[in-house]
Chain A
Amino acid sequence: MKIFHIAYYTMIRNFRDKKSILLTLGLPILLILIIGTALNSADSPKTLDKISVAYVNEDKGAISKEFDAFLNIDDIKYFIDVREEKSYEDGIKLINEKKVEALIYIKNDFSGSISNEKKAVIEVYESPLNELHVSVVKSIVESFINRVNTMEVMYKMNADLSNQKFIQDKSIMDMPITAKGNIPRAIDYYAVTMLAVSLMYGTLFASYAMAEDKFENTYIRIKSSPTKAYINYLGKTLGTIATLLLEAILLIVFTKYAYHVNWGSNIPMVLFLSSLFSVFVTGLGIMAYVITNDEKKSGTFLNILTVFLTFISGGYVKINFNGIIFDKLVAFVPNKMFQTAMFNTIYDGSMHQTQACIIGLIVITVMIFFIVAGFGRRVLD
């Protein structure tokens, strides 16, 4: 098929572009080493300490009682050190004083809401101290909520619930982060964020692939050949995606063996996430080009965007935004979704969060390609 032929040569040519390969692959690999080793000793514990958590339960209904019990299971206690407090304000105060790392808060209408089939949440407030610890707390809470939801469904189906006490149920331990000995060192963290950066710079490959023939004379040859324009562009798109995926694999393999970076045991998932992000990145690069219809402009825009998105999703330095709204927004940043999904995959974290990120990335990518199709008619002929 001509498409694969075009894709193949697009990829070959990308890898011959030494400057771009240095920017997209060499630099991130270097940065992983520099930032990773510089921060490693100072920043990361080698084993997971018990996480201190404040717990406020204003509800005292049936379901929140179950949660009380849940927190008292030995396996949960292995991870967290729960400190019960009277009020929400007390809990927040502890966070601000850095005495605890997170606050689990159940409002007084919690059980009532569930019985009335309204939305009910167990809220987790986090301190900016330790992202990983907070994510452990979140997954513990999430695993509980999953159990409740399952039971709700079973209850509605009139199932016999008499034996469904999670207190005795060991299977919950499948869900939260099994962090024993699996703590990311700084280098592990930066390997993932730098992978995201590396792939984000791939937008430039995409933008260039679309633009090049227009400014080179090769346009005449391609246009006068019996190959439809869309075949040419699809081939280039595929070639760009393949380039990025191959770069990701090189980065992963290199850092795994040279720096002993932990990429976890679920390699297929790591590769799937990298592919998905590569498709997103390629779409983004093409979109920037078809909207601006100018390779220079789109290049500048993509450079700035890459740096900005990397920064706010904590790619260069771990940052915590105290504004909750902003935090929520950042959760929708594609880099962040990719990183979150990767961390959850590598450290056996929340399957739910991973799924949400995957869906988020797919939705954004599909939207981007729709935009490309719309603008593309005008620019790519």
Chain B
Amino acid sequence: MILEIKNLVKRFNGNIAVDNVNISIKEGEIFGLLGPNGAGKTTTINTIIGLAKIDGGEITIFGKNIKSYEMEIKKDIGIVPQDIALYEDMTAYENATFFGRLYGLRDGFLKDSVEEALHFTGLWDKRHELTKRFSGGMKRRLNIACAIVHHPKLIIMDEPTVGIDPQSRNHILKSIRKLNEMGSTIIYTSHYMEEVEELCTYITIMDHGKVIAKGTKDELKGLIAFEEKTTFELSGMNYTVVDHIKKINGVKDCTMKGKTISVISQKNSKTLGKIIDAISSTDCEIISLSIDKPTLEGVFLTLTGRTLRD
């Protein structure tokens, strides 16, 4: 385990922000921390890097206690804060150099590492521009560059894609995967479930300061998904096909509304082929077909009765 959080409790003036949270992160993972606004994601992260005093629990990073080995541990962590943390009156190059130096890098190695980080985030050509003239997406990228200059073993990213255009977002997601391939463990928080679903190998869902579910994508979806819904749009109407489909093994229900047929089947019952056969045997053709897979959004909805973005 690269990071282990046990029974973490954090209060703000009596209000509980993190409530008995347990998290273990394996080396090499892209660990997703998913939760709506105010769930306690940032607070949890802040306690990991020693920014906030904790009211209870224990945090072990790289097998060491954060209290006793603070400076040693911090050297190997890179943090991408939720709010862009850069000096606006410094260039991209200067920002990366400044923070790289704070992590103890110096001279030629510092220079090379800064260059590497700026190339990595696609900012090398803009390195001599002042940060305040950067677009939101470029700032986000520089926010990441400053966190990776010192080649950290553990990179913590707190909603690194908030409020940016799709192009920058894709660039960022790609680079996160690359960083992971290069050997860094990633903690990634977000309230965009699509992102987390796409990126993360292991996911923990938080709400109101509590961990409400954890597991791999499939494990989490398994929590709610006992059924699959398939929708067909046909060229004409045929009521007998509904009866045929209902008789297929594994199909629980079938309804028709105009030219649209909805089929609910048991999960993994492999009914799709048989349903298509049944439709083909009539004079109708299938114009389109869609399968609703369970999503993390659905998981969250089921667990809390709310959607993530409420």
Hey, which bits of chain A sit against chain B, CB under 8 A? Answer: 2, 5-6, 9, 12-13, 16-17, 216-228
Contacts and interface: CB of A to CB of B under 8 A. Distances in A.
Nearest to A5: B101
B228 interface: no
Contact of A9 (B71, B90, B104): B90
B96 to A, nearest CB: 11
Nearest to B86: A218
B59 interface: no
Given A16-B89, A224-B74, A9 B98 contact: yes
Closest 7 CB pairs of A and B: A217-B85, A224-B49, A226-B74, A225-B102, A217-B83, A226-B71, A220-B81
6 contacts: A9-B90, A217-B83, A219-B85, A224-B51, A224-B79, A226-B72
A13 B74 CA distance: 26
Interface string B49-82: 1110000000000000000001110110101010
B124 interface: no
A226 B84 contact: no
Residue of A2, A217, A221, A228 ringed by the most chain B CB atoms within 10 A: A221
A32 B26 CA distance: 67
A154 B146 CA distance: 69
Given A12-B90, A225-B74, 4 more contacts: A2-B101, A220-B51, A221-B146, A225-B99
A228 B74 CA distance: 11
Contacts of B51: 220, 223-224
A6 B76 CA distance: 21
A227 B102 CA distance: 6
A5 B101 CA distance: 8
Contacts of A17: 89
A224 B84 contact: no
Contact of B98 (A5, A220, A224): A5
Contact of A226 (B81, B83, B103): B103
A367 B168 CA distance: 52
Contact of A216 (B72, B74, B85, B98): B85
B226 interface: no
Interface residues of B, number: 28
Residue of A5, A220, A222, A224 ringed by the most chain B CB atoms within 10 A: A224
Nearest to A212: B87
A219 B84 CA distance: 11
Residue of A6, A17, A226 ringed by the most chain B CB atoms within 10 A: A226
A218 B87 contact: yes
A217 B101 contact: no
Nearest to B74: A226
B34 to A, nearest CB: 21
Nearest to A216: B85
A222 B102 contact: yes
B129 to A, nearest CB: 13
A9 B102 CA distance: 12
A273 B98 CA distance: 32
Contacts of B72: 226
A224 B51 CA distance: 7
Contacts of A2: 101-102, 104
Given A5-B101, A220-B51, A221-B146, A13 B90 contact: yes
A16 B91 CA distance: 11
Contacts of B81: 217, 220-221
A12 B81 CA distance: 25
Contacts of A218: 85-87
B94 interface: yes
Contacts of A5: 98, 101
A218 B46 CA distance: 14
Given A5-B101, A13-B90, A223 B50 contact: yes
Contacts of B70: 226
A17 B87 CA distance: 12
Given A2-B102, A226-B104, A220 B79 contact: yes
A223 B70 CA distance: 11
Contacts of A221: 79, 81, 85, 99, 102, 146-147
A226 B89 CA distance: 23
Nearest to A218: B85
A184 to B, nearest CB: 39
Given A2-B101, A224-B49, A13 B83 contact: no
A13 B87 contact: yes
A221 B71 CA distance: 14
Contacts of B46: 220
Contacts of A227: 102-103
Contacts of B86: 218
Contacts of B85: 216-221
A13 B102 contact: no
Contacts of B98: 5, 9
B143 to A, nearest CB: 9
Contacts of B146: 221
Contacts of A226: 70-72, 74-75, 102-104
Contacts of A9: 87, 90, 94, 98
B52 to A, nearest CB: 10
Contacts of A225: 74, 99, 102-103
Residue of A13, A218, A225 ringed by the most chain B CB atoms within 10 A: A225
B48 to A, nearest CB: 9
A16 B94 CA distance: 13
Interface string B27-53: 000000000000000000010011100
A220 B51 CA distance: 7
A75 B148 CA distance: 74
A122 B40 CA distance: 75
Contact of B89 (A6, A13, A220, A223): A13
Contacts of B74: 224-226
Given A223-B50, A224-B51, A217 B84 contact: yes
B53 to A, nearest CB: 11
A266 to B, nearest CB: 37
B90 A224 contact: no
